[in-house]
Amino acid sequence: MGSRHGHLDHACPDKGGLTRMALPTRLTEILGIEHPIIQGGMAWTATAELAAAVSNAGGLGIIGAGHMPTDILRQQIRLAKELTDMPFGVNLMLLTPHIDEIVAMVLEEGVHAVTTGAGNPGKYMGALKEKGIKVLTVVPSVALAKRMESIGADAVIGEGMEAGGHIGELTTFVLTPQLADAVDVPVVAAGGIADGRGVAAAFALGAEGVQVGTRFMCAEECTIDPGVKARIVKARDRDTVVTGYSTGHPVRVIKNRLSRMIEELDRENKPEEIEELGSGKLALAMREGDLEMGSLMAGQAAALVCDVQPAAVIVTEMMDEAENVLRRLGTIAR
Ligand code: TUI
């Protein structure tokens, strides 16, 4: 054992020998994918290149719409269709003002699935389902999960507060089993999952799939600034912080000068100033590589990410490790 990354002073353990198999679940069946791994729909980060790479690796790649203009998102969908013949999806960020137009365009272009975040997608559910698009809604609570199931969600993604970006209040560890008890549709666990141990743990908690964001930020095919990837690889256990509680939209980021400025405004209860200061800062980080004044949205699992790797290696490593963990646990249980 020991670190396979000599340049890191914190532990990134050897993953051991690799084996090969799949963990089929209702989720993989519904989506028509090989591995129960959905890529997070990260704004300014989850582009067609990353989505196609994840889909080509047997997961479900997702283009993160964020606040993207409708035409650009349309081009992204068309690009992904050129880059992969496998199912992929779009994440609808429901706080964006032109969301009606975005949904209309997605219905026109057609994708296999949408994930939704940052709100209640009820208004769009009927139209999406009518087009045969699978709808997976991110839910931060049991109540919203039940509501989403009742209006036709194909699966719910329970996102714990370990996740990066805009988060709810509950942890993945307590949210996932409660969702598994509360709904009949498949549950996907999100937040804090960056390796096969996390996948195995999510399955133990009743999930039939995982959503992974931060580790895919460090995929070679992810087009964010390389400096951000290096910062994630370097991240340690306490390097993220949740800022913006006073705005009602708390956001987990890697600590930097901007996060300290926002924390100060949070203490002074100045939500309008936070919104103003935060404007454009996600793009500043992800596209321009400003590590101090950019918004470095990433999850606690940044500390578990050891390398920049091809998306296919990330998927294979996670699945092989999950398989090995589950087999080992099975052996102990006997
Ligand atoms: O949406 C995310 N993560 C995000 S969105 C984003 S862009 C942004 N930037 C600054 C401020 C706000 C957004 C960056 N990261 N994850 C999924 C997620 N959804 N987390 C929490 C929720 C959520 C919250 C409330 C989902 C539903 C919900 O429903 C409230 C209601 O309407 O019942």
Query: Relative to the CA of 120, which ligand 1 atom is closest?
Result: 32
Residue nearest to atom 23 of ligand 1 (CA): 118
pLDDT of residue 7: 43
Whether the CB of 281 sits within 6 Å of ligand 1: no
Query: Relative to the CA of 95, which ligand 1 atom is closest?
Result: 13
Report DSSP letters for 165-222, one per residue.
EE--SS-HHHHHHHHHHH-SS-EEEESS--SHHHHHHHHHTT-SEEEE-HHHHTBTT-
- Count of C-beta atoms within a 10 Å radius of residue 285: 28
Query: Relative to the CA of 278, which ligand 1 atom is closest?
Result: 10
Whether the CB-CB separation of 164 and 298 falls below 8 Å is answered with yes
pLDDT of residue 330: 87
Which pair of structure tokens corresponds to residue 175?
């949210």
Residue nearest to atom 17 of ligand 1 (CA): 117
* Cα-to-centroid distance, 138 and ligand 1 (Å): 8
Whether the CB of 138 sits within 6 Å of ligand 1: yes
Whether the CB of 239 sits within 6 Å of ligand 1: no
pLDDT of residue 333: 57
Whether the CB of 251 sits within 6 Å of ligand 1: yes
Per-residue tens of pLDDT for the chain, all 334 residues: 334 443 444 555 555 544 456 799 999 999 999 999 999 999 999 999 999 999 999 999 999 999 999 999 999 999 999 999 999 999 999 999 999 999 999 999 999 999 999 999 999 999 999 999 999 999 999 999 999 999 999 999 999 999 999 999 999 999 999 999 999 999 999 999 999 999 999 999 999 999 999 999 999 999 999 999 999 999 999 999 999 999 999 999 999 999 999 999 999 999 999 999 999 999 999 999 999 999 999 999 999 999 999 999 999 999 999 999 999 998 765 5
